[in-house]
Amino acid sequence: MGRGSNLPRVGGFNRAVVLEAIRHSADGLTRAQLGRITGLAPQTVSNVTRELLNQQLIRETGSVPPGGRGRPGVALSLNPSGGLAVGIHIDPSALGIAVVDLTGEIVAENYGPLPSPQDATAAIAHLHHEVERMVQEASVPRGRLLGIGVAAPGPIDDDAGTVSPPLLPGWGTVPLRDLLARQTGLDVVLDKDVTAVAKAHLWTGESPDPADFLVFYLGAGAAISPVIAGQVVRGTTGNAGETMHLPGDPLSASPRGRILGTSLGERELVAHARELGMTLPGEVDSWNPHEIEEGFTDLLVRAGRGEATAIEVFASAGRVLGAAVLAVAELLDISAIVITGPRWAAMRPLCEPELQHAIADHTLHGQPRPLNLHTSSLGERAGTVGAACLVLDRLFSPTPATLLIGS
Amino acid sequence: MGRGSNLPRVGGFNRAVVLEAIRHSADGLTRAQLGRITGLAPQTVSNVTRELLNQQLIRETGSVPPGGRGRPGVALSLNPSGGLAVGIHIDPSALGIAVVDLTGEIVAENYGPLPSPQDATAAIAHLHHEVERMVQEASVPRGRLLGIGVAAPGPIDDDAGTVSPPLLPGWGTVPLRDLLARQTGLDVVLDKDVTAVAKAHLWTGESPDPADFLVFYLGAGAAISPVIAGQVVRGTTGNAGETMHLPGDPLSASPRGRILGTSLGERELVAHARELGMTLPGEVDSWNPHEIEEGFTDLLVRAGRGEATAIEVFASAGRVLGAAVLAVAELLDISAIVITGPRWAAMRPLCEPELQHAIADHTLHGQPRPLNLHTSSLGERAGTVGAACLVLDRLFSPTPATLLIGS
């Protein structure tokens, strides 16, 4: 707030704008096309593209016939391997690590349970070891490594770079960002899981609307990230996306079912099933991620086999999703909704009828306001790709706020 | 999206930044102080302030002793009457018109019932007549009139400049912006009431946090406008702020009480009272704004007299407000909340105990996350001042997006 702008700021911004235009083109763009898209003068386009070529972020890839009169132009395309980012997604019950190129394409990946969920020091040592191993195996030149992005369960402390995940009670508050940066010698960007997932969808363009959409992320918990005018809403402390007090199942008679926070995460769905009389593996009310996972998997299997009570649990979850979609889409006037996360593929066929029923023929004050639901193909990779996109986004995204002096 | 920036864009932006810095200063700022605050070079500050002086938007107001070494500087202050804006707030049951100066201070104002609520053409002719009369009575030089802002109930059509307020069924869809512009010969900016109210709080600085806050507006209906990084969230179609599907009273047993949209507007509170057995003036389920108003006023009076059922209706409303505050504050990670609107002064003593109870000692994942509730002094003027601020905001607010070519 309150800062002006000047030419050096504009220079950095225009470089990001040109790179983004090239990134979003299917077959590359000529300098003339770049000028038309960005509104920049030919001399500016020429200077910016020369700089991007020198940095090997783009490359010349043949010639393109002119749209109108004139001679063919040289097409400029993204050089996908011009820079690579590591993404680490920490989930209470799972760990994903990936190396992605400038397009967000995965070069190497590795998924498995989170080792030592009770011991943060051991977990971070494991992360360091795994990153080094993957980078070596994928033969990534170290000079091309742009940094590490970490997507972690909230709450995070943005300034301190710490996490305090409630589903990893053994961790307490951990200075994850700085510990990992010191061990790996790489820049580390830390953000909340759902924020990273939203950035993955912005970066890969996987959304019915490129600039304004809501991301619903279903993992161990449920979170919603609003994207407004191409910017992910991070909140004043970086902890936006919490869903605890959004509405629950409108048909629920129990206080548990009345709010989203106690009716949509894995642990909450297991609790709902037990409330309805089901016996599931794992201890009742356990916070152990592996026990919760076990109960949840059994619930999914039994719903898939047609067990009525298990089916009702997911039907209710579909109604909760529907209620949340309506509440947030109306509040922010956003009609494109992306649903994703490691749990959605399995839950989708069970939840979708009630979800679709809730939002079908949506009207507001008597006027039709159709909502556009999209299941993301990123699926269980969304967190890991998103973590890597935190790095790409920081380095390459044109954010108007970066035009301000001192930002 | 996708547009670059250039020097002419930067020029306009910096002018707005300097004007804003001067506007927020108590006793004016020297050119040197402006340079420190905005980060702009001395030559830029000098050019921009010369232009603002020529336009009579600022003036020189004596000298200020230097902070450190050097000679005293000339203080530059806002020239409040350098420009004036008309604000019109259309509510189904009320009409407010005000002329405000550059500080948002009211120069002239007029409040009353909306005449001809069934006839848009007559209502617009009345608006034109009233504006001309007030401008003449206040001796406002026509050349200083910057335009008219209109705050209207949604939904609006941003491109067409039309409104279709459901509580004014006689209106249908009205091209309010263009009709009023043609009749008055002034520029007209149209926006949703709650968006205008949020802009009033941004402009006058009336919020516990200057850049990130939520505005709850209680008038004929209830709406919420989020302000993020100094920008009011308008939504993809200009219709953000709808609260229909936000959570209702957690203690309510009826489907009506489960969602905010059927439990917090004037009409809804009257319906709730009737559901609890109260007899109130006006026809049951009427959409007539004056009949609703009559029932609501009786309800307020009886709660003030200590009638238990009436008190319970407002206690329930307090719980609805609390549930909505929690849901939206957690989702967007915003802790400053402004409550305002023509109904809040009367409702506040009746609603506040339950509202405060709902948000007191707020925690998220076991960590304290205090919420800061603020009752705006703009009160019933918020819509009218906000309408005028739509004009001031469009002309003078530094919005980073305006830095983009072609915006």
Residues A150, A391: Cα–Cα separation, whole Å: 9
pLDDT of residue B407: 63
- For residue A223, report the phi and psi dihedrals to the nearest 5 degrees: -140, 155
Helix (H, G, I), strand (E, B) or coil at B60: strand
Which residue in B1, B240, B405 is closest to A211 by CB distance? B1
DSSP string, B170-218: TT-SB-HHHHHHHHH-S-EEEEEHHHHHHHHHHHHT-SSSSSSEEEEEE
Which residue in A18, A154, A406 is closest to B39 by CB distance? A406
Which residue in A41, A255, A333 is closest to B236 by CB distance? A333
Residues A174, A154: Cα–Cα separation, whole Å: 12
Residues B367, B365: Cα–Cα separation, whole Å: 6
Residues A330, B160: Cα–Cα separation, whole Å: 21
Choose from A209, A234, A332 for mutation: most chain B CBs within 10 A. Answer: A332
Residues B30, B77: Cα–Cα separation, whole Å: 9
A236/B212 touch (CB, cutoff 8 Å), yes or no:
yes
Which residue in B14, B226, B258 is closest to A4 by CB distance? B14
Domains of chain A as residue ranges with CATH: 7-78 (1.10.10.10), 83-200+384-396 (3.30.420.40), 208-376 (3.30.420.40)
B6/A333 touch (CB, cutoff 8 Å), yes or no:
no
Nearest CA in chain B to A235: B333
Q: What Å distances lie between residue B135 and B30, B121, B178, B390, CA to CA? A: 34, 21, 20, 18
CA angle A255, A242, B257 (to 5 degrees): 35
- From the CA atom positions of chain B, what is the Rg in Å? 23
Selection from B227, B245, B237 nearest residue A333 by Cα: B237
Helix (H, G, I), strand (E, B) or coil at B165: coil
Chain B hits for A154, CB-CB cut-off 8 Å, are: 365
Give the closest-approach CA distance of B229 to chain A in angstroms: 8
Give the closest-approach CA distance of A360 to chain B in angstroms: 15
pLDDT of residue A161: 95
Residues A121, A125: Cα–Cα separation, whole Å: 6
Chain A hits for B24, CB-CB cut-off 8 Å, are: 2
Chain A hits for B16, CB-CB cut-off 8 Å, are: none
pLDDT in tens, chain A (407 residues): 578 888 778 888 888 889 988 988 878 999 999 999 988 999 999 999 999 999 899 999 877 666 656 666 899 999 999 999 999 999 887 899 999 999 888 999 999 988 877 889 999 999 999 999 999 998 988 889 999 999 998 899 999 999 988 878 888 899 999 999 999 999 999 999 999 999 999 988 888 898 999 999 998 889 999 999 989 999 999 999 999 999 999 888 888 888 999 999 999 999 999 999 999 998 998 888 888 989 999 999 999 999 999 999 999 999 999 999 999 999 999 999 999 988 899 999 999 999 999 999 899 888 889 999 998 889 889 999 999 999 998 888 777 777 787 76
Residue A376: alpha-carbon gap to chain centroid: 11
Which two tokens mark B281? 């003036």
Residues A247, B323: Cα–Cα separation, whole Å: 9
Whether the CB-CB separation of A309 and A276 falls below 8 Å is answered with: yes
Nearest CA in chain A to B3: A38
B228/A224 touch (CB, cutoff 8 Å), yes or no:
no
Task: Enumerate residues 6+ apart whose C-beta is below 8 A from B202.
Answer: B210, B227, B230, B232, B389, B393, B397
Residues A98, A380: Cα–Cα separation, whole Å: 12
Residues B285, A276: Cα–Cα separation, whole Å: 38
Residues A365, B268: Cα–Cα separation, whole Å: 15
What burial class does residue B88 get, using C-beta atoms within 10 Å of its C-beta: 0-12 exposed, 13-18 middle, 19+ buried?
buried
Chain B hits for A21, CB-CB cut-off 8 Å, are: 2
B10/A14 touch (CB, cutoff 8 Å), yes or no:
no
- For residue B125, report the phi and psi dihedrals to the nearest 5 degrees: -60, -40
Sheet holding A231-232, edge to edge: A231-232, A222-228, A213-218, A336-340, A372-375
- What is the biggest distance separating any 2 CA atoms in chain A, rounded to whole angstroms? 75
Which residue in B237, B364, B403 is closest to A5 by CB distance? B403
Chain B hits for A258, CB-CB cut-off 8 Å, are: 247, 250, 258
Q: What Å distances lie between residue B282 and A11, B295, B395, CA to CA? A: 64, 6, 44
Give the closest-approach CA distance of B45 to chain A in angstroms: 10
What burial class does residue B305 get, using C-beta atoms within 10 Å of its C-beta: 0-12 exposed, 13-18 middle, 19+ buried?
exposed
pLDDT in tens, chain B (407 residues): 578 888 778 888 888 889 988 988 878 999 999 999 988 999 999 999 999 999 899 999 877 666 656 666 899 999 999 999 999 999 887 899 999 999 888 999 999 988 877 889 999 999 999 999 999 998 998 889 999 999 998 899 999 999 988 878 888 899 999 999 999 999 999 999 999 999 999 988 888 898 999 999 998 889 999 999 989 999 999 999 999 999 999 888 888 888 999 999 899 999 999 999 999 998 998 888 888 989 999 999 999 999 999 999 999 999 999 999 999 999 999 999 999 988 899 999 999 999 999 999 899 888 889 999 998 889 889 999 999 999 998 888 777 777 787 76
B230/A40 touch (CB, cutoff 8 Å), yes or no:
no
Residue B63: alpha-carbon gap to chain centroid: 35
A40/B405 touch (CB, cutoff 8 Å), yes or no:
yes
Nearest CA in chain B to A365: B166
Chain B hits for A323, CB-CB cut-off 8 Å, are: 245
Element (H, E) at B346: helix B344-359
Cross-strand bridge partners of residue A367: A364
Residues A9, A402: Cα–Cα separation, whole Å: 7
A258/B244 touch (CB, cutoff 8 Å), yes or no:
no
Chain A hits for B234, CB-CB cut-off 8 Å, are: 333
- For residue B102, report the phi and psi dihedrals to the nearest 5 degrees: -65, -20
Nearest CA in chain B to A225: B331
B364/A242 touch (CB, cutoff 8 Å), yes or no:
yes
Chain A hits for B327, CB-CB cut-off 8 Å, are: 245-247, 327
Q: How many residues does chain B have?
A: 407
Question: Dihedral (C-alpha) A196, A201, A204, A210: value to the nearest 10 degrees?
Answer: -140
Which two tokens mark B402? 């305006």
Residues B165, B177: Cα–Cα separation, whole Å: 14
Helix (H, G, I), strand (E, B) or coil at B145: strand
What burial class does residue A235 get, using C-beta atoms within 10 Å of its C-beta: 0-12 exposed, 13-18 middle, 19+ buried?
buried
Chain B hits for A287, CB-CB cut-off 8 Å, are: none
A-B contacts at Cβ under 8 angstroms:
209
- From the CA atom positions of chain A, what is the Rg in Å? 23
Residues A106, A104: Cα–Cα separation, whole Å: 6
Residue B293: alpha-carbon gap to chain centroid: 22
Task: Enumerate residues 6+ apart whose C-beta is below 8 A from A392.
Answer: A83, A85, A100, A102, A104, A146, A203
Give the closest-approach CA distance of B235 to chain A in angstroms: 4
Residues A330, A349: Cα–Cα separation, whole Å: 25
pLDDT of residue A2: 73
Residues A28, A79: Cα–Cα separation, whole Å: 10
Give the closest-approach CA distance of A267 to chain B in angstroms: 14
What burial class does residue B237 get, using C-beta atoms within 10 Å of its C-beta: 0-12 exposed, 13-18 middle, 19+ buried?
middle
In the block, residue with structure tokens 């059927």: B262
Nearest CA in chain B to A330: B242
- For residue B360, report the phi and psi dihedrals to the nearest 5 degrees: -60, 145
pLDDT of residue A70: 60
Which residue in B238, B247, B403 is closest to A246 by CB distance? B247
HEC readout, chain A: CCCCECHHHHHHHHHHHHHHHHHCCCCCECHHHHHHHHCCCHHHHHHHHHHHHHCCCEEEEEEECCCCCCCCEEEEEECHHHCEEEEEEEECCEEEEEEECCCCCEEEEEEECCCCCCCHHHHHHHHHHHHHHHHHHCCCCHHHEEEEEEEECCCEECCCCEECCCCCCCCCCECHHHHHHHHHCCCEEEEEHHHHHHHHHHHHCCCCCCCCEEEEEECCCEEEEEEECCEECCCCCCCCCCCCCCECCCCCCCHHHHEHHHCCCHHHHHHHHHHCCCCCCCCCCCCCHHHHHHHHHHHHHHHHCCCHHHHHHHHHHHHHHHHHHHHHHHHHCCCEEEEECCCHHHHHHHHHHHHHHHHCCCEECCEECCCEEEECCCHHHHHHHHHHHHHHHHHHCCCHHHHECCC
State ipTM: 0.92
B239/A10 touch (CB, cutoff 8 Å), yes or no:
no
Which residue in B155, B166, B405 is closest to A39 by CB distance? B405
Which residue in A18, A328, A403 is closest to B331 by CB distance? A328
In the block, residue with structure tokens 């006839």: B119
Q: What Å distances lie between residue A212 and A198, A208, A229, A401, B199, CA to CA? A: 11, 9, 6, 17, 21
Residues B286, B116: Cα–Cα separation, whole Å: 18
pLDDT of residue B117: 78
Which two tokens mark A27? 């077959």
